[in-house]
């Protein structure tokens, strides 16, 4: 799985390298990525960005409990900000509070992604006239990474389903609200009921 993430990143950066002089904005395109594989009753998870996997666990006769399985890579989280500061001790602008939102270099919230080449390699610097992606100083080293967080979890008898979704869902629903919606509408909830980038699967 880790190799697949690396190959995807390298493939996209190769595309950016071939086309960014013609289409400079491609250097500012990026995506989060969340992958799950079930093998021999174990769920393997790989995540970068602020997509999230949440399992719905049955408690008692008919109650459902949400358990978050992945960690969001988002500058709004204190742990992520501290991680960035420790990796960039000489950069006082590595995380900036802008309009009430913590952002890396004042631009982006996620600390890990596929793409966003202009925040990884100086050669892909975006035209300064595009203020949304303007860096106050030239990039000295990558401020984002495509290295996923990888975890495993043994599937338990009480695990009912897992929700994979991007921040488009989690900005509007808590983990508990999401699992209750699924639990109260068994097998009637389709992917589009959540978000175009959401996925739901049952364990049983």
d(CA 56, CA 4): 27
Q: Which pTM does this prediction carry?
A: 0.84
Domains of the chain and any CATH numbers: 2-202 (3.60.40.10)
Query: Mean pLDDT in the chain?
Result: 87
Q: What is the pLDDT of residues 166-189, one digit of tens each?
A: 998 999 999 999 999 999 987 654
- What is residue 139's predicted lDDT score, i.e. its pLDDT? 78
- What is residue 130's predicted lDDT score, i.e. its pLDDT? 62
pLDDT at residue 147 greater than cutoff 60 = yes
């Amino acid at each position: 799985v880790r190799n697949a993430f690396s190959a995807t990143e390298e493939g996209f950066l190769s595309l950016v390298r071939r086309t960014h002089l013609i289409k400079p904005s491609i250097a500012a395109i990026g995506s989060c990525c969340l992958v799950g594989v079930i093998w021999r009753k174990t769920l393997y998870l790989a995540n970068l960005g602020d997509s999230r996997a949440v399992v719905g666990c049955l408690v008692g006769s008919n109650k459902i409990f949400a358990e978050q399985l992945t960690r969001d890579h988002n500058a709004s989280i204190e742990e992520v900000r501290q991680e960035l500061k420790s990796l960039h001790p000489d950069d006082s602008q590595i995380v900036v509070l802008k309009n009430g939102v913590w952002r890396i270099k004042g631009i982006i919230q996620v600390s890990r992604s596929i793409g966003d080449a202009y925040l990884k390699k100086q050669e892909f610097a975006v035209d300064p006239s595009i203020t949304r992606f303007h860096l106050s100083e030239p990039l000295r080293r990558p401020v984002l990474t495509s290295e996923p967080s990888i975890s495993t979890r043994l599937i338990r008898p009480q695990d009912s389903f897992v929700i994979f979704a991007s921040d488009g869902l989690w900005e509007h629903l808590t983990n508990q609200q999401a699992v209750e919606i699924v639990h109260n509408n068994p097998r009637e909830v389709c992917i589009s009921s959540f978000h175009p980038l959401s996925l739901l699967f049952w364990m049983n």
